[in-house]
């Protein structure tokens, strides 16, 4: 088994993070520093910073209604990180990100393979948001947002945008550029007042209270891994 897959299956991080740890020399196999592409055999001892990594734990899948001010990172030195906020007894990590100043649905897991499946760009999984801005939402603004907006040197993909009320709209994206919605709004001189994610793929935020989390149902998990 490739070393990054082995590490992700222990539940400590995603494959992407595992590659970073390997690249910086934090991972050893039987006392020898691993390299990208190293293989792990049965009986091998894999260590992170000299401490052995355990076997694959029971998979955990969590939905959190993240409040504003919580950062989607596993870095323990960052105050307000999402892992400490949840305080789960097992090691988990967020799937993707939701900006510190945004709120709503974020998924967390110890299953590194799921992370890759959900975040893979070509899979174009939907994420739905409700956004409140600082001025009137016009038809021109909605149509322009839906058609694609040039931000950070590229044109965003076409998306679905619907008015909710005079200053609020609903938007469904299939990509996840850094601070994408805020940058798209700013391109038309709109400032985001509130940004809430209400859906990831088939998983709905629903009536989950802010700051609370729940385990995904068997049906929801099946929809992720099928």
Q: Which residue has the tokens 């209270």?
A: 209
Has 99 been annotated as catalytic? yes
DSSP 60-74: -EEEEEEPTT-B---
Question: At CA 194, angle to CA 189 and CA 195, rounded to 5?
Answer: 95
From the list 19, 84, 99, 113, the catalytic residue is 99
**Residue 123, by phi and psi: left (phi above 0), alpha (psi -120 to 50) or beta?**
alpha
| Burial (CB count within 10 angstroms: exposed 0-12, middle 13-18, buried 19+), residue 222 | exposed
Q: How far apart are CA 83 and CA 150, in angstroms?
A: 34
Active site (catalytic) residues? 99
């Amino acid at each position: 088994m490739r070393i990054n897959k082995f590490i992700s299956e222990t539940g400590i991080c995603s494959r992407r993070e595992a590659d970073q740890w390997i690249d910086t020399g934090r991972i050893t196999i039987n006392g020898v520093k691993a390299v990208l592409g190293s293989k792990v055999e049965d009986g091998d001892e894999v260590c992170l910073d000299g401490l052995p990594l355990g076997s694959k734990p029971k998979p955990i899948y969590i939905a959190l209604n993240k409040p504003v001010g919580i950062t989607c990172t596993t870095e323990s030195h960052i105050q307000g990180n999402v892992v400490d906020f949840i305080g789960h007894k097992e090691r988990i990590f967020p799937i993707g990100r939701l900006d510190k100043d945004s709120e709503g649905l974020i998924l967390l897991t110890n299953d590194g393979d799921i992370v890759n499946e959900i975040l893979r760009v070509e899979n174009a999984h939907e994420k739905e948001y409700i956004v409140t801005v600082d001025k009137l939402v016009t038809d021109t603004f909605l149509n322009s947002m839906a058609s694609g907006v040039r931000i950070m040197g590229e044109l965003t993909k076409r998306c679905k945008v619907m008015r909710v009320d005079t200053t609020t709209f609903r938007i469904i994206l299939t990509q996840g550029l850094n601070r994408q919605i805020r940058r798209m709004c700013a391109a038309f001189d709109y400032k985001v007042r509130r940004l809430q994610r209400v859906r990831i793929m088939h998983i709905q935020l629903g009536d989950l209270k802010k700051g609370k989390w729940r385990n995904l149902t068997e049906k929801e998990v099946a929809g992720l891994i099928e």
